[in-house]
Structure formats: C-alpha cells, structure tokens
Amino acid sequence: MTKLSRRGAFGAALAAAALPAVTLAASAEASPDAELIRICAEHPAKLAALHAAPDSEPDDGPTWQAYERSCEAINAAVPQTLAGMIAKAQAAKVEQLGIGYTTNPEGTLAAPWSWDLLHDLLRLAGAVAFPPAAVAALAPDARLIADCSRYAELEAESCRLLNTAGKMRDRDPRCVALRKQANLLDDEIAELHERITYTRARTPAGLRAKARAVSLDMGDNGAASAGPMNSDDHMAWSLLQDVLRGGVA
C-alpha cells in the first residue's frame, strides 16, 4: 500500500471520537469475519495513537507500523458476511473523517475501501441482475430499484450509440445523428445518478441494485474488474454509507 506520512494522519483522533465503536463484537466469535471485525474495531484506536505519537518518534516507528499493519489487514480482508462488510465500512468512515473537515472520501483510504465493498456486496448478493419487477414492486426500495434499472438501460444505450458512432468518421451524418441521440440521454442519466446517490437503500434488494449502478458508474458501463475509472466516487461512498447503516430502515 502507499505509505503516508504519520503527520498526514492529523485529525485522526477526531475521527476515532466521532464514530461509535463497532457494535458487532457479540457475534464476532461465531462469524467467519471474526478477525476482520476485531481488526476494524481496533483501527480507530491505532489512528488516534498515531496522531498522539510524540514528534520524537520517527515516521516509521512502532506506532506507524501498528497502524500500517492494521490498514494492510483491512485491505487484504474479503468479508464473508454483512457484519464483516459493516465493520470494514466503519473503518472506512474513520479514515474519511481523519482529515476532520469534509465528507469527501477522495484522497483517503475510504475511497478504495468503498470500491472494495462494492465488489464484496455484489459477490455476496450472487447474480447482479436486478430483481423481477413483480418482486421489486413489493419492496421498500421499489423506486430506487426502478431508478437503478432505468439507469442501467440508459447507460447501456448511450454506450451503444457512442461506440457505433466511434466507428464512423466524425463528419459522417450518421455519426452526428448518433452522437445527438446519446446527448439527449444525458439529462435523464444525470438526474437518475443524483437521485440514486441521495436515496438510501434499505433492503438487500436495494443494496444490490445500487451496487450494480455504482459498478456501471465507476467501471465504464460495467467493465469494473480493474477498479474505478470515474473520478466521481460519490455514488460509491453513498453505497458504503448504506452498508454502514446495515441496509435497514
């Protein structure tokens, strides 16, 4: 992992104080994610210790090494349960608050951990297809699921139009027409993007639908295996917040 300066963790004590401790300890012993839950529960204290370390301690001293080992363990962990995902989301929230003045995860470990959690959620959910309309209509997240489904349709259509146009010469009237058709979709795509970002997922079906939308948003219409290609990661951060709440009303 990229090694940050100990001084760069300024404000970590604020982060540790601002968040409640992981509340999953009671079930941790029986969980396949017991070790991950334990590490995440201890992570805020390691951040706080790093911030409180005396200036006389070198940047690669024992306090930094303990913090770095914690980060590397969380990076490497693959949650097997929702409890493990919530624990990792709480650790990400601590990292995001480490700078003390913004809710933007950019530039902190919260950003890559948000991306990790997207893949974890999709993996735990199984197939990434959206629930059938008949099932979705009964869910508290019916509107969110419908928005995510429509978002996927429009993104796929926009991608198809632009890919087709890209095979033609720019001055070809057919190319111009295809690009205009794609542009006409942009307003609705942007509106759906904002609505999905600011709508809380309250059910597993809603979390799954939102995760798929995040994958499309950050992974160039679904080609997400290599990681995010879109610098706007606010939708992924929104999904992490939903997981942190446990996906319940």
Could you state, in order of their start, the residue ranges of all structural domains in the chain? 6-102, 133-244
Report the range of poorest mean pLDDT among 67-76, 119-128, 159-168, 187-196. 119-128
Task: Reply yes or no on whether the pLDDT at 5 is more than 90.
Answer: no
Q: What residue ranges in 105-223 does DSSP mark as E strands?
A: none
* Residue entry with tokens 């942009």: 186
Mutual orientation of helices 110-125 and 82-97 as an angle, nearest 10°? 170
CA 152 to each of CA 23, 99, 185, 216: distance values in angstroms, whole numbers, following the listed order:
35, 34, 12, 7
Q: What's residue 228's pLDDT?
A: 47
- 78 — pLDDT class (breaks 50, 70, 90): confident
Q: What's residue 202's pLDDT?
A: 85
* Residue with more model confidence, 231 or 45: 45
- List pLDDT tens digits, range 19-45: 444 444 444 557 789 999 999 999 999
Q: What's residue 220's pLDDT?
A: 53
- How far apart are alpha carbons 58 and 233 in whole angstroms? 34
Task: Reply yes or no on whether the pLDDT at 222 is more than 60.
Answer: no
Sign of CA dihedral 11, 12, 15, 16: negative
Mean pLDDT, the chain, rounded, equals: 75
- 150 — pLDDT class (breaks 50, 70, 90): very high
Q: What's residue 83's pLDDT?
A: 84
